[in-house]
Amino acid sequence: MARPRSEDKHAAILDAAVRVVAERGLSATPTSAISKAAGVAEGTLFTYFKTKDALVNALYLDIKREMAGTMMAGFPRHAAIRQQLQHVWDHYVEWGVAQPAKKQVMAQLHTSAYITAESRAVASAPFAEIEQVCKASIASQVLRDYPVPFIWACMSSLAEATIGCMVQDPQAAASYQRAGFEVLWNGIAFNA
C-alpha cells in the first residue's frame, strides 16, 4: 500500500526546486539535485510529481498563485484604473524585491517550453479581472489602444528594471517604485 502524501514534503520539494533552479538554471537542474536539496529520496520526488515536466509546471503554478495572491490582495475594485494598476504594480515590485529567487525562477519558467498551455491558462485566471479593467479602459479611451498582452509585457519589463534599481539602492527604493509606475502610466494612458 502506498504511503499517504505529505503537504510538507510537497512544499519542501517546490521550495528546493526554487533554490536549485535559481542557482543552476532550469535546463541544468536534474531532479536528483532537487530531491537532495529537499531532503527526500529521488523516488519520493516522483511520488509527488510523475515527471520533471510535471514538477516544473507545478512550480510555475505555485509561484504564479503566490504572485496573484500578493498582487490582487486588497485590489481596489471601485477605484479608477490608475489606482488599480498602481496597486498591482506596487504589490508586484514589492514581491519581486522580497522574493528574488522566485522572481529569477519565474523569468526562466515564463519562457520555458516545459510550461503547458493548460498551466499558462490556469496561471492567468487570477488576473482576468485586471485584464477586463484594461480592456474597458482602452474602450473608454483612458488607456491607449494597445493590446493588453503588450501592456502586460511593458509593465513586466519596466518592473524588472525598477526592481533591479530598488535592490541596488534600497535607500531610494520608494522613489524608484513611484518613478517606474509614472513611466508606465505615461506610456499607456491618454492625457497622462
pLDDT in tens, 79-136: 999 999 999 999 999 999 999 999 999 999 999 999 999 999 999 999 999 999 999 9
Answer for the pair 157, 54: CB distance below 8 angstroms, yes or no.
Answer: no
Q: Structurally, what CATH architecture does the domain formed by 65-188 represent?
A: Orthogonal Bundle (1.10)
Dmax over Cα atoms in the chain, in whole Å? Answer: 66
Q: Provide the residue ranges of all domains of the chain, joining segments of one domain with +.
A: 1-50, 65-188
Residue 23 reports pLDDT greater than 70: yes
Query: Pick the residue with more confidence: 44 or 191?
Result: 44
**Prediction pTM value:** 0.89
Long-range contacts at 99-105 (CB < 8 A, ≥ 24 apart): 99/66, 100/22, 100/167, 101/18, 101/19, 101/22, 102/18, 102/22, 102/63, 102/66, 103/163, 104/22, 105/17, 105/18, 105/21, 105/22, 105/26, 105/59, 105/63
User: What's 189's DSSP letter?
Assistant: B
Confidence of residue 4 (pLDDT cuts 50, 70, 90): low
Burial pattern 3-31, b for ≥16 Cβ within 10 A else e, equals eeeeeebbebbbbbbbbbbbeeebeebeb
Cell of 46: 516522483
CATH topology of domain 1-50: Arc Repressor Mutant, subunit A (1.10.10)
Confidence of residue 162 (pLDDT cuts 50, 70, 90): very high
pLDDT for 2: 46
